[in-house]
Amino acid sequence: MGRPSYGCALWSFLFESQIQPTEQAMLAEIQRVIGGDPRLYLSDVQLFPQENGILIQLALSVVPSTNAERLNIFFNQETRRASYV
């Protein structure tokens, strides 16, 4: 509370037009959030706009490991919830 810049702002992009500048802003936000945790290394991120939301695929490694795990998160516009898929 009292720290408006804390957290992830991906929800603010959910109802925007899924054009290149929006996707670039989303990628920058993902990199900012993950970059704030020194235990994580982001090796790949992909965005897939869907009819009712956005699917984000991340390849994350826990430092010092080099084994990346794929994490799929779906941001649903209709329910305004994020879920692992």
- In the prediction, which pLDDT does 80 show? 86
- In the prediction, which pLDDT does 58 show? 94
- Is 1 part of any domain? no
Alpha-carbon distances of 84 from 20, 47, 74, rounded to whole Å: 24, 14, 6
Cα 42 to the center of its chain, rounded Å: 11
Structural domains counted in the chain? 1
- Is 4 part of any domain? no
Cα–Cα dist 24/28, whole Å: 6
- In the prediction, which pLDDT does 1 show? 55
Whose structure tokens read 């010092």?
64
Phi, psi of 68 (to 5 degrees): -85, 140
Bridge partners, 81 (sequence order): 76
Q: Where in the sequence is the domain holding 63, given as residue range(s)?
A: 10-84
- In the prediction, which pLDDT does 24 show? 93
**pLDDT per residue as tens, the chain (85 positions):** 566 667 788 888 877 877 888 899 999 999 998 998 899 999 999 999 888 889 999 999 998 887 889 999 998 988 888 898 8
- In the prediction, which pLDDT does 7 show? 76
For position 48, which CATH number holds? 3.30.360
